[in-house]
Amino acid sequence: MNPRASFTGWLLTIGLLLGAFRGDATPANKAALERHYDRFLARPLARCTTCHQPSPNKFPESLGEFPHNPFGDRLRRLGEELQAAGQKRDLSTRLATLAAEDTDADGVANEAELLLGHNPGAAQDKPAAGELAQLKDRQTEFAQFLAGYRWQPFEPVKRPEVPSIANPKSEIKNPIDAFLAAEWAAHGLKPRPEASREVLLRRVYLDLIGLNPTPAEQRAFLEDTAPDAYERLVDRLLDDPRHAERWARHWMDVWRYSDWAGWTDGGQIRDSQRHIWRWRDWIVESLNADKPYDRMVTEMLAADELAPEDPDALRATGFLVRNYKMLSREQWLEDTVKHTSQALLGVTMGCAKCHDHMADPISQREYYALRAVFEPHQVRTDRVPGELDLAKDGLPRAYDATNAPTYVFVRGDERHPLTNEVIAPAVPALLGGRLDVQPINLPWLAGNPDQRDFVIRDTLAASAQSVTAAKAAWDKGRSETNVVPAKLREAELALDVAEKKHAALVAVIAAERLTLPGSRRREEADHSTALRLVTSAATNAVLLQRTAAIAEAALKRHQAQTALAAATTNKLTEAQKKLTEADQQLAAAVEALAKPLDSAFTPRPATACPTNSTGRRLAFARWLTEPRNSLTARVAVNHVWLRHFGRGLVPTPADFGRNGRPATNPQLLDWLAAEFMQPELADRRSEIGKDDSNPSPISDSRTPSAWSFRHLHRLLVTSAAYRMASTPDDANLAADPDNIRLWRMNSRRLEAEAVRDNVLHAAGTLDGTLGGPEIDHQQALTSPRRSLYLRHAAEKQAEFLQIFDGPAVTECYERRPSVMPQQALALNNSELALKQARVLAARLVQEAAANDARLVELAFQRILARQPTAAERELCAGLFEPAPVSADLAEKHFARAAENLVLVLFNHNDFVTVR
Amino acid sequence: MNHPHAIHCPGITRRSFLADTGMGFTGLVLGSMLFRDGVRAESPAAAWQPPTGAPHFTPRAKSVIWIFLCGGVSHVESFDVKPELTKYAGKSISETPYAGVVATEGKDVIGANPAHGNRKVIMPLQTGYRAYGECGLVVGDWFRHIGTCADDLAVVRSLWTIHNDHGAQLTWQTGRHPRELEHPTLGAWTAYGLGTLNENLPEYVVLGVPTGDCCGGAFTHGAAYLGPQHGGVRLNTDPKNPLPFIRPPEGALTAEEQAANLSLLGKLNRLAGIDYPDDQNLRARIKAYELAYQMQTSIPETMQLDREPEHIRRLYGLDQDHTKAFGEQCLVARRLVERGVRFVQLFHGGGGGGAWDAHGDIKNNHTTLAAQVDQPIAGLLKDLKQRGLLDDTLVVFGTEFGRSPGAEGTGRDHHPQAFCAWLAGGGVKGGAHYGQTDELGFHAAENRRYVTDIHATVLHQLGLDSRRLEVPGRKRLDLDHGELIREVVS
């Protein structure tokens, strides 16, 4: 019998009902056992019966029916002891503690039995004498394995020693190279030499700013013979705002940037929100300012709690706003939990919505505890200066709005909540640490954004503007000779309405400023003065609102009267009825004015939101960015590495758990994570200041700041490893065909956005404007803006980009570039390629002045950022032959050949490939 | 980098690179130009050679239409009908005479959620059933049209798969557990082993919405280390827009210019690739450009479904809203194999975990979805047959796993321990029924077969020996190769 599945099935049910044993007796424990002993665990022991007695019942319904054997029982008790003592109690620790113990008292220690393939919880199952002879070797091997550097993504990062390489066979420019060299030496690999300067230049330009070097930039670098020419170039590129745009697009993948989806005309925004581009701009600006990653993460999760009155920071919460789902709050929160975990922690929480995680020790209850962090949050759009219409502009942001309780849902089904217990916010025990949740009192204006000065100013200005417009309309009417009297009267009445409404608005705002909380005058004035002031302002507002109401009713009555006069026979009754109604309304308004004044004016319509916040998200962000959080830095560093080297050090960037793949060079990743959080390596930027020709806009400091992406990029791209050629080597290929140990640079295909951007860039038509509202995706072929500004949402994606494997809207932790005939068609036949080819060709024709050899050279430089070889020159020259006889035709022929050459080079493999 | 599994082909040298990428005479000319450019001498060629495109033995089929229904189709209500489920409805399995069927439960399944596939309270059949044809194949009423083709089908009822969640969709295509990520799909092996019969069309075409990213995504039609040139090419079936950017705007470029540009581009790409002879992406791109050029005319022609006579269009259900979409896919599939495409992979219900994933209200779910595919698939079989195409076209109908005999509310859960598939045409023994599940359809009881046994059977019919296709440095397991199911081939 194989009780595993039925037992875990039981566990699922019982875990849900009783909340007992969760995280202890799940298949994740089996996974932990396998992880601890790795290949040293004999296969028959990778099962439930290593710790449980075989059950007489095929479908055990409780632990009573599927009891632990002595070994399992010992593990469980030890776990309880450790927990009581407040100590680390993960299975690995417990297995190590019990290694030398002989729990089943069969004369052989637990670990010895496990290594030899015998059950440590069953006395009758023990190694024969012959087997014991192998024990020593097994133990030695296993000890070596334990002593080796282990990939432990759930343990806090400890900075490993940088290997000292005696007589390095390759250049060691920084510790990255030392870590790799150790691997090369251990596996007999010979690293490839440095790439040519042309190749390297293009590579680093594309990686850092996403654009090819221009011919002038190529020349400048190739002629710069200073030993630190490359390093200076890197610094310059890192300071370039286009670097921020380039990397913003990468992070937009990881953080799931999406514009709104749905139908604006029906007012149905189904996913994300309008104006979410402000979050994109925040990403670009933050990267451009090298805002520390821990700060970025905190702002994205909780800017409304951290900096509630800073609209710039609030943009960051677009990270949460993006998950908005009109049709399902459940899906919304599910996406929030799932993708926050995957993007920032590399943990797949999604499975635990319905059942305990089967691979990582995360219980279903812990899933809901994490959900509780996000349960109270909602989205809203605040006004921005200069625009009152939220459909036209605004700031979508997150805030805590509800006090909805979080419950465990049976099997993840929201129809079956376990309402007997409200789940408090917490983080999975596996990840260590705890949340320190402190409720936050927000400034009054943070909850009442429409009371901000600029909104009031804009409201008054708009009202004054309508008075001016009404006045102009009336003046225009008066100046006309044959104006219809009724029309003129209508304009006069409309002006009266506008003036009186404006006066009422001024009065209402004055009254509100006194009465609303947060009003300074109210706090400053003594009680009786305040009361008098407040009452008089309020009654004044009431008076003016009543007056305005009369003016409005008078206008309506006039309109009804005019309509009646013009009505045809069959509409007469209806028109008469409308006039009667208007008469009544006017009479009512006049009567209202005659009533004694009170202070109950109608306030301005204004957003009123809570002025407190649970503090849950801020606590979560603080926990996430503590250096002892084992995953945050590792995951971020891996994402950066992936995008410079073509493959993550952890090949599954969104899953660092048991279902993912282990790190290929854990020491290196850990060292980088440590260096990212707490830099120790001096920045070489300090040398730059000495170079007057290249003044640096950033202050020089020897110690880079913590969590600085710029420091991380610099480390990566100035390593010798990064500078290697990507050409093959037969011996290395045979030993490591997948280049796991990075003996060469990986060739990569440009991302969709970079393909499009470089077509425009080569033609010289790329518009360098930074930021702003998204560009309609249907303009992808005609807009000169960079691709990250194109609308990207469900059903709203640029086809050209999707053909080049643009990001999926739902998730894109890693691009998966394909090679498809569709790409050939897009680069040959699209309006984008053809038009830009014509533009560039025209430029080249001018520059080359009828010299076809020169034109070929210029075209290669502009498009492929390199010189053509002799063979390439010869082949391309063919396009220009045979020259027609007449000069006029020759000119046309030359121009046409140039266009074709440019189009061919846009389609060249080298154009879309980073070598 | 594009392919973490860049192929290692020892002996792919500069000269063989030029030859491999289809440069005969031009290759020689380029070669001499390279020597002038000072390219270094070559390393000696090794013994291994990629496949020539010739079958290893006499093939019975030339093309494959590989139909895949995403999400898990109920086996017990389709082609492995289990009347006992109705008889014991509402009872726990342990209360039936078949309590023993779960004894080996979970065997070999490396799963995600142990609940999947282990529902114990029996759910009655949610559709009727009847026997069809001379072979007497019993088919659930959801598939009554396909039932009428019973004597052409060889049903395999004893399949199991290794994963109990929708990652098994990837398993169906590659044979590997989804944790192992990217491996060549059956379509890729076919394209790699046999090459093309028509230079104007891709060897391996994908129609419909493929598996979602959760469950294999692009890997479900990828070629992994065989190189992207052997991966599936996705096409739309919309005749108005079969391919974006299908041709240049009117007057932009003459046909002669296009041809001249393509020729120049081919030479330039080969020259530039000379230092990267192992670069599979470059090879794929060279091929993609040549193919794209041809596809500008071949694809619109293939997609002109209005050229089909009305009775054919009706046969595939193009005249009905619910069958139109999949009917077009089936009809396009026929037109593709007619034109020499080797492998057409049809997805139905793709995206996310898959539309057929009927955890709740299976009756409604399967009734609706089966109605979309039943007539089109039957139409395809009949149409292929009447044209004589069924003789050398192998049609396979599959899904990632079955659905649990036990109830999950009003639905059925995932069931990796048993499911079924059928093959037709291409030398398959029509009317054959192979393998058996127990009376409840819980386990594959007799002649238990793994997913790759279907792969092996398909490759065998194509005249290929998967062991002879193996790439040096890419050791495959016995399980990857699978075993021919001899009983279903004639």
Q: What is the pLDDT of residues A420-443, one digit of tens each?
A: 999 999 999 889 889 999 999 999
Residue B216 domain flag: yes
Q: Do A71 and A104 touch, CB atoms closer than 8 A? A: yes
Query: What are the distances in angstroms from CA A657 to CA A428, A636, A663, A740, A864?
Result: 13, 15, 11, 20, 41
Do A444 and A545 have their domain in common? Answer: no
User: In chain A, which residues have their Cβ closer than 8 Å to the Cβ of B213?
Assistant: 808, 810-811
Q: Do B86 and B407 touch, CB atoms closer than 8 A? A: no
Do A573 and A617 have their domain in common? Answer: no
pLDDT of residue B142: 98
Is a pLDDT exceeding 60 seen at residue B98? yes
User: Between chains, do B292 and A900 touch, taking CB under 8 Å as contact?
Assistant: no
Residue A701 domain flag: no
The model's confidence at residue B19, banded by pLDDT at 50, 70 and 90, is: low
Residue A649 domain flag: no
Do A402 and A505 have their domain in common? Answer: no
Is a pLDDT exceeding 50 seen at residue A22? no
pLDDT of residue B91: 93
Q: Is B83 on the interface with A (CB under 8 A)?
A: no
Is a pLDDT exceeding 50 seen at residue A175? yes
**Domain ranges, residue A91:** 4-147
User: Between chains, do A748 and B275 touch, taking CB under 8 Å as contact?
Assistant: no
Q: Is A51 on the interface with B (CB under 8 A)?
A: no
When divided into structural domains, chain A yields a total of 4
Is a pLDDT exceeding 90 seen at residue A327? no
**Domain ranges, residue B168:** 63-242+303-488
Residue A826 domain flag: yes
With a pLDDT cut of 90, the percent of chain A lying above it is 64
Residue B373 domain flag: yes
Q: Is B199 on the interface with A (CB under 8 A)?
A: no
User: Between chains, do A822 and B261 touch, taking CB under 8 Å as contact?
Assistant: no
Element (H, E) at B325: helix B321-338
The model's confidence at residue A837, banded by pLDDT at 50, 70 and 90, is: very high
Q: Do A11 and B116 touch, CB atoms closer than 8 A? A: no
Give B317-320 contacts, CB < 8 A, sequence gap 24+.
B317/B375, B317/B376, B317/B379, B320/B375
Å from B174 to nearest chain A CA? 18
Do A431 and A549 have their domain in common? Answer: no
Do A334 and A387 have their domain in common? Answer: yes
Burial zone of B412 (CB within 10 Å; 0-12 exposed, 13-18 middle, 19+ buried): buried
Name the A residues in 59-88 with CB < 8 Å from any B CB.
59
Average pLDDT over residues A736-742: 93
Residue from B183, B187, B249 nearest B3 by CA: B183
Element (H, E) at A882: none
Give A34-38 contacts, CB < 8 A, sequence gap 24+.
A35/A92, A35/A658, A36/A91, A36/A92, A36/A95, A36/A96, A37/A95, A37/A114, A37/A115, A37/A142, A38/A145
Bridge partners for A716 per DSSP: none
User: Between chains, do B265 and A904 touch, taking CB under 8 Å as contact?
Assistant: yes
Do A366 and A440 have their domain in common? Answer: yes
Do A24 and A140 have their domain in common? Answer: yes
Q: How far apart are CA B383 and CA B393, in angstroms?
A: 12
Name the B residues in 226-265 with CB < 8 Å from any A CB.
228-229, 231, 233-234, 243-249, 252-253, 257-258, 260-261, 264-265
Q: Do A153 and A657 touch, CB atoms closer than 8 A? A: yes
The model's confidence at residue A85, banded by pLDDT at 50, 70 and 90, is: confident
Q: Do B206 and B232 touch, CB atoms closer than 8 A? A: yes
User: Which of B264, B267, B283 is the best substitution to test chain A (most A C-beta atoms within 10 A)?
Assistant: B264
Do A405 and A521 have their domain in common? Answer: no
User: Between chains, do B6 and A659 touch, taking CB under 8 Å as contact?
Assistant: no
Residue type, B76: V
Q: Is A731 on the interface with B (CB under 8 A)?
A: no
Residue from B424, B430, B432, B429 nearest B380 by CA: B424
Do A494 and A405 have their domain in common? Answer: no
Last residue of some domain: A97, A112, A147? A147
Do A488 and A413 have their domain in common? Answer: no
Q: Do B186 and B327 touch, CB atoms closer than 8 A? A: no
Average pLDDT over residues B237-251: 83
Q: Which residue has the tokens 């009544």?
A: A584
Q: How far apart are CA B169 and CA B73, in angstroms?
A: 12
Query: What are the distances in angstroms from CA B445 to CA B419, B440, B457?
Result: 11, 11, 20
Query: Quick one: closest CA in A to B6, which residue?
Result: A738
Nearest to B288 among A12, A737, A821 (CB): A821
Q: Is B36 on the interface with A (CB under 8 A)?
A: yes
Å from A870 to nearest chain B CA? 6
Q: Which CATH number do you get for residue B444?
A: 3.40.720.10
Do A794 and A908 have their domain in common? Answer: yes
Q: How many CB pairs under 8 A join A and B?
A: 211
Q: Is A445 on the interface with B (CB under 8 A)?
A: no
Per this entry, what is the length of chain B? 490
The most confident of the ranges A278-292, B339-353, B469-483 is A278-292
Residue from A914, A905, A896 nearest A875 by CA: A905
Q: How far apart are CA A214 and CA A222, in angstroms?
A: 12
The model's confidence at residue A519, banded by pLDDT at 50, 70 and 90, is: low
Burial zone of B90 (CB within 10 Å; 0-12 exposed, 13-18 middle, 19+ buried): exposed
Q: How far apart are CA A809 and CA A792, in angstroms?
A: 7
Å from B228 to nearest chain A CA? 6
Last residue of some domain: A98, A120, A147? A147
The most confident of the ranges A529-533, A544-548, B236-240 is A544-548
Residue B384 domain flag: yes
Other residues' Cβ atoms within 10 Å of the Cβ of residue A677: 24
Do A574 and A532 have their domain in common? Answer: yes
Report which of residues A597 and A212 the model is more confident about: A212
Is a pLDDT exceeding 60 seen at residue A14? no
User: Between chains, do A878 and B245 touch, taking CB under 8 Å as contact?
Assistant: no
Average pLDDT over residues A374-378: 97
